[in-house]
Structure 1
Amino acid sequence: MGGGVQEEAGNRGPSYTVTCEDYVHVVEFSPFDSGSPGSLLAYGGNLFVVVAVCRFQEEDLEVEGLEFNTLRVFHHGVRVDTLAWSPESRLDKLPQVIRFCTAAADNKLRVLTSDLKDSHEVKEIEGHSSYINHLVFEPVEGKQIASVSDDHTCRVWDLDGKETALFKLRSPGMSVCWHPAEVLKLMVAEKRGTIRFYDLLSQQAILSLDCGQIPLMSADWCLANSIKVGAVVGTDWVIWDVTRSSYPQRKKPCHVDRARLFRWSRANENLFSTTGCPGKINSQLLVHHLGHPQPVMIGSSTVGGGLSWHRSLPLCVTGGDRKLSFWMTEM
C-alpha cells in the first residue's frame, strides 16, 4: 500500500509559478472573502510587500492556468518576516480597503491600510523586545492583532497599537491562531513543545497540549474542524484531537533535517502541508492526507519562506528565491 501511494505522489514541480523581484520570505493567501472573483495574496521580500489578486482555472474555466494581477507594491524598508491579513480587506466596496499586518527583524509590527489609490497609512506598533515569529488578526471584526515572540510573550493589540492583553510564556512563542468559531480563545504554541489555549475574557490558560518532544517550530488550528490541531516538532508532524487527549493522536516523521512549517488546508480537514527548513538540501514541500500513509504530494523544488493554503481550493503556495510556487493537490 505505502509504496503505491508514494509512487502516485512522486516528486513533482509546481502547478504554477510567478516570478518576483526579490527573495520571498513570507506569502499569505487571505483566508477571508474579499468580495472579488479572485483571491487576495500578499508576499514579503527584503524591502517591500506585494499585494495581488490570483485567479486559477480550477475555479474559473475562463482563466488559462493562473491569472496574477499585482494591485500594489508597499515599500516596507526592512525585511518582512511574517504577515497576516485583516478580514476588513474588501475589493467589492468603494473605497476598496486593503489591510494587513507585518512583523520585521526590528521587532516592530506594522499595520498597513490602503484604498489602493491615494490613501495609504502605516501604523508601527512597538512592545516586543525580541524577534516576532507569528501574528494573526482577530478573524471576525479584525479590530485586534495577536503576536508571539522570542521574548517569551504573546501580546494582543488594538489597531491603535495599544496592548490589550499579555500572556507570559515559558519559551519562545512560535505560532498564534485565532479561530472564527472560537473568537474568545487564542491558541499559542511554544518552542518547548507546549500549545496552550487562552480565554481572552479571563486571560487564563484553559487547555494545554503537549508534543512530548522539542523543538516545536510551527502549529496550526484547523479552520475546517476546530477540534483538530497540528504542529511540526523536530523532524515529525503531530496531530491532536483536543477533545481526546493532551498528547498527539497521530505522529509521523516527515523531514530529514528538521520540519519548519505546518499548515492545514482551509477547505479539507484531512489535508495539510509541511515544509523543511529553508537552506537545507531536503527543504521540500510535503502535502499529507490523514487517510494516506505516505505524503500525497512531494514538491520537487527546495522551498524558501512561507506556506499558505487557498481559501477554497486544495492549493498551497510557497515562497523562494525570486519566485512563488503554487501546488495543486489532486485529491
Structure 2
Amino acid sequence: MASGKANGCKVAAPSFIEAIAFCPFENAENLVAIASRNRLCVGLCKFNLPESNAEQDYRSFGGGLLEEYSMVLNVDVSDINCIAWSPTSNMKHLPRSVVMGAGTKGGVVNIYTADVKENSETEESSINAHKDCVNDLAFEPVEGQELATVSDDMTCKVWEVESGEMCCSFPLQYPGVSVCWHPSQPGKFMVAESGGRIRFYDFASKQAVLSVDCKKQCLTSADWCWLNQSKVGASADMEWYLWDITKSSYPLESQQSHNGVCGKMLWSKHHEDVFLTLGGPKNAVKIYHLGHRQPILYKMHDTSACASWHRTLPICAVAGNQAVHFYDVTVLTQF
C-alpha cells in the first residue's frame, strides 16, 4: 500500500465532528465550517504554502502549513448532520458576512447569517423541510437563492432561501444521500440515492435529464467534479466509482478502496484527477490520482467521517478526534 508524504498540521476541534466544509466560493474560500453535536464553528485559515514543496520533509502535524487560524463564528446548535455554504458569504468586502445552511437529524434545515464583526449576533431561520434526517444540502452556486436538500424520507426538495417556501419536490426510490449543483451548469443539480442511482435534474423544467447507476444498493455518497462537469464519482460498499457522463451511464472505472464501508468520495477542487475517500474499518483517508492505481496518500485517524477540499489550494481538511487535520498534497499531485 502506498502512503505518500504530505505536509500537515492540525487545530483543536470538538470531540466529535458531524460535518466539515471549506467554503467553495471565491469571496470566502479560506473559511472552514466545523459542526459538532452541539456547536457550529467557522474558522478563518491562512495557509503558508511555499512556491515548491518538493524538497520539504514530511512533518507529522508539525507547523508550517497553517500560518494562522482564527475563529469568526461560534454558535450553540444541536442535531446537525450536514452543512453547506452560500455563495453570498463574503470576507473580501465590507460588510463581511457568513451565510450557511445546516440540515438536522430531525428533518429541519436551519439557515445562519452573521456579520463578521465583534459581538455581532447570528440570525437563524428554520425550514421544516423533511420528515426524516437531512443527509445533504447545497445552495445554488451563482446567486444562492435556492437550496436543495435530500433526506431519508426519500425526497429531494428545492427551497427558496429568503422566504423558506418550497419550489419543488422530487420523489426518490431510496433515501437521498448527496446533492450538489455545478457552477458551470446553471440550473442543474445532481441527486444520489442509496440504491445506487444518481440523477441530474433541470431546475427550470423540474425534470430529470440524465441518470447513471453503480448497480449496488449501498451507495453512501456522490460528487460532481467542479473542474470538469463530465466527471462524476461515488462511493458504495468498499469501492469508488467514476463516470464520464458525456460518454456512458456505466462506470468507466471502479476500485476497492477500503476493507470496510467506503463512506465518502470527494473530488479535489484544485486538480480534476484527484479525489479522496473515507472508509473503514480503521477510519482511513485515502487520496487518489487517476494516473495511479494505488492511493498517493493513506492516513489513519481516530475518526474520519467527514472531509473537505479547499477551493483553490491543494489542501484537504479531515476530521479527527478533537482535531481537524489539514494536508497539503502539492507534491503528491505533481505528475
TM-score, with length taken from structure 2: 0.90
Q: CA deviation at 1:60?
A: 8.7
Where does residue 44 of structure 1 map in the other structure?
35
Question: Is 1:13–1:301's contact at 8 Å kept on the other side of the alignment?
Answer: no
Identity of aligned residues (%): 35
Q: CA deviation at 1:57?
A: 1.1
The superposition leaves residues 244-264 of structure 1 with CA deviations (integer Å, 9 ceiling, x where unpaired) of 111100100001111001100
Q: CA deviation at 1:119?
A: 4.1
Where does residue 57 of structure 2 map in the other structure?
none
Structure 2 distance, partners of 1:126, 1:14, is 43
The root-mean-square deviation of aligned C-alpha atoms, in Å, is 1.8
The runs of 4+ residues in structure 1 deviating greater than 4 Å are none
Where does residue 92 of structure 1 map in the other structure?
92
Where does residue 213 of structure 1 map in the other structure?
216
In the alignment, does 2:169 pair up with 1:166? yes
In the alignment, does 2:232 pair up with 1:229? yes
Show the 5 A alignment for 1:84-163: 84-117=84-117, 118-159=120-161, 160-163=163-166
Show the 5 A alignment for 1:1-331: 6-7=1-2, 9-10=3-4, 15-34=8-27, 39-58=30-49, 64-66=64-66, 67-76=68-77, 78-117=78-117, 118-159=120-161, 160-276=163-279, 280-329=280-329, 330=331, 331=333
Question: Is 2:283–2:300's contact at 8 Å kept on the other side of the alignment?
Answer: no
Structure 2 distance, partners of 1:220, 1:212, is 17
SS in 2 for 1:282: coil
SS in 1 for 2:226: coil
Question: Is 1:46–1:79's contact at 8 Å kept on the other side of the alignment?
Answer: yes
Question: Is 1:29–1:40's contact at 8 Å kept on the other side of the alignment?
Answer: yes
One-letter amino acid of the structure 2 residue matched with residue 133 of structure 1 = N
The superposition leaves residues 45-64 of structure 1 with CA deviations (integer Å, 9 ceiling, x where unpaired) of 11111111111111799x94
Q: CA deviation at 1:81?
A: 1.2
Q: CA deviation at 1:286?
A: 0.4
Q: CA deviation at 1:267?
A: 1.2
Question: Is 1:23–1:323's contact at 8 Å kept on the other side of the alignment?
Answer: no
Q: Which runs of 5+ in 2 are unaligned?
A: 53-62
Structure 2 distance, partners of 1:193, 1:207, is 14
One-letter amino acid of the structure 2 residue matched with residue 48 of structure 1 = R
Question: Is 1:29–1:309's contact at 8 Å kept on the other side of the alignment?
Answer: yes
SS in 2 for 1:142: coil
Question: Is 1:217–1:261's contact at 8 Å kept on the other side of the alignment?
Answer: yes
42-51 or 295-304: bigger deviation: 295-304
The superposition leaves residues 265-299 of structure 1 with CA deviations (integer Å, 9 ceiling, x where unpaired) of 001110000001xxx44220000010001101101
Where does residue 60 of structure 2 map in the other structure?
none
SS in 2 for 1:183: strand
Structure 2 distance, partners of 1:64, 1:307, is 21
Structure 2 distance, partners of 1:60, 1:45, is 35
Q: CA deviation at 1:239?
A: 0.2
Aligned length: 317
Q: Which runs of 5+ in 1 are unaligned?
A: 1-5
